[in-house]
Amino acid sequence: MKIDSWLEELGLGKYSKLFKKNGFTFDSLSRITTSKELKEIGIKSSIIREKILYEISKLTSNTIKGTAPSSPSQKSTGIRQQTISSSSIIVANKEIQRLHPSPNKVLKEYEEAIIKNKKDLKSKIKELGEEHEEVGDCYYELGTNYYMNSQYENAIENHKKALAIRIVCFGEDDVDVVISYYQLGQDYYMDCSYELAITNHIKALELQKLLNEDDDHNEGVAAISFDLAKDYYYNSQYDNAIIYLENALEIRRYVFGDEHKDVADVYYHMGLAYQSKFHVKKALSNFKIAHSIYVETNGEYSDDALKMENLINDMNEEIDD
């Protein structure tokens, strides 16, 4: 593929001259790894730079996997890594650890866990039959270890089986069913299948609200709303993203107060959504609030605070230009 055609497909054809002028071809795009490099070749907008970096990361990821560039692939931007590893979700007043790969756990351990899960699953099916709740738990655990190992299609397959069994055993009005819908949403999100992520996160949110109808400020509702907003954001549905971010923000400010990292995370994503809508003042306002909270909670030189400071500086430079 030619770089002109690739940029045209992304709606960014007007930037092809800048890439050619700086000696880039389609095959050499993988050399670009930072926003600063794109800025140096003449792309002033941080929104456009972020979009191009994401699209390059998809090309790189699919080259490694041996799949076509159009296939969904995991995002590898700093934004994603920050957002997926946020605080735990509380579902029906039961705290569960938000699932994300731990930097301290090597992939080999997940592969070994998958082998053990498969043996346990086979044994449970033989002992209890296909539709027992413990078999559902085995499918869920197997799916979780596939998720941890970045094998999202396998994660989806097993989490679907767990969900089906849990609905048969418990009906939909059950905490484990909520967790299954939620985790399927996470699987699809990491697989970049945002429409399906939205569908499952909406279902999880609806059930979570039913299970906590007397609790107007349930953090589980806030956590699922936050992840649903990210689905909408990466699916370019910014207005919907803002709606669910506002819901999450209201609850988290009530539960945690104003000076909390989870509150800052919402302001940060609110800024991203407004930035994508080219509402510069609203974006800057949210980024500045997020920055002040990160400084207060994590320190002036924390990764989150420095990330926000750089983003704010980039936006101010664009305004000056």
The predicted pLDDT at position 106 comes to 52
119-154 pLDDT, tens digit per residue, is 999 999 999 999 999 999 999 999 999 998 889 999
pLDDT tens digits, residue range 211-221? 888 888 888 99
Instruction: Quickly tell me which residue has 């994603």 as its tokens.
Output: 80
pLDDT at 52: 84
Report the distance separating Cα 296 and Cα 250, nearest Å.
Answer: 20
pLDDT in tens, 233-278: 999 999 999 999 999 999 999 999 999 999 999 999 999 999 999 9
- Give the CA-trace dihedral at 194, 72, 191, 228, to 10 degrees: -20
Single-letter residue type at 42: G
Residue 34 has a pLDDT of 78
Asked if pLDDT for residue 93 goes beyond 70, the answer is no
Its pTM stands at 0.70
State how far the alpha carbon of 300 is from the alpha carbons of 173, 288, 305, 311, in Å.
Answer: 44, 13, 6, 15
**Domain annotation for the chain: domains and CATH numbers:** 3-73 (1.10.150.50), 79-256 (1.25.40.10)
pLDDT at position 94 over 70:
no
